[in-house]
Amino acid sequence: MTFDEIKAVVTDTIFNISLNAQARTDKEFKEEIENSIYLISKSFTILEKIINHTDQKKVPDRVFDSQAILWQGGNSLIGGLQLIRQGYTLESQFLMRYAVENLAMVLSFHTENGDSFYKKFTNNNLSGEKCVGEAKKLVSQIGGIYGLLSEITHPSKKTLGYIYMGGEKSITIGGGITDKTIRWVKMNLAILQFLSTIYWSSIELIFSDYSDEYTFWEKSGDIMKWAPNEEQKAIYERSLLLFKEAVSGM
């Protein structure tokens, strides 16, 4: 193909194919997309209470920085959803992995070793991937989802066409969805929903001192106990089920 022909394909992908894929995804996975938006919005609702707290003197630097990092992670989840809708399989997973690292970093600030991790952060000597092990002390599920996304997002034969192209002798430019690749949309939406649920429950735990409404936890003095109400337990279990189904089909 000539340069002009390639340019025409790229242009068509950006202005037509991606929008057609988006329309198909929105139609076939309406409930999953609405659930993802609901879960992500719940996280932002808690974070907004920190950034717009009426008395910022009551918001320590560690808490404010935690909010900022997680706000960025929430935006990454939205970006991941947009890419999923347009049929970008790997690229959406890159953003979700980044969001996991954001969450892991913030969780590390709030463990028994939080002072050490936060000091490294303030000295610009800490990356999210180095925090996953510590974060698991508070939220055990973060290890499994990070491991999955790390395996998928690192370059390998698995991700460079062997499975994703299904043995086809053709390759696509950009995103888009076909009958053979629609299953990857379902998988990514399942991962996103589970991650968004973990985000919400983790944010509720981290900022428990700034709210008296708990969905996933029960507060007794200074102790937070995992105790989701029936509605949210159903949301969590549904997200976990979709996640397991998606992973088992990879």
Structure tokens given for 223: 């102790």
Range list of β-strands (E), the chain: 217-220, 223-226
Mean pLDDT, residues 230-249 taken together: 71
Q: Which of 94, 96, 78 is nearest to 39 (CA)?
A: 78
Q: Which of 169, 197, 164 is nearest to 182 (CA)?
A: 164
DSSP annotation of 224 = E
Task: Tell me how far apart the alpha carbons of residues 12 and 214 are, in angstroms, rounded to a whole number.
Answer: 47
pTM reported for the whole predicted model: 0.90
Q: Percent helix, strand, coil in the chain (nearest 5)?
A: 70, 5, 25
Q: 77: buried, middle or exposed (CB in 10 Å: 19+, 13-18, 0-12)?
A: buried
Ranked by mean pLDDT, the top range of 155-169, 170-184, 236-250 is: 170-184
Domain extent listing, the chain: 3-248
- CA distance from start to end of the chain: 33
Task: Please give the mean pLDDT across all residues of the chain.
Answer: 87
Widest CA span of the chain, in angstroms?
Answer: 69
**Residue 202 predicted with pLDDT over 90:** yes
pLDDT tens figures, 5-31: 999 999 999 999 999 999 999 999 999
Name the least confident of 7-11, 228-232, 244-248: 244-248
Residue 162: what pLDDT?
A: 37
Per-position DSSP letters for 176-192, written without gaps between them:
---TTTHHHHHHHHHHH
Mean pLDDT, residues 51-78 taken together: 95
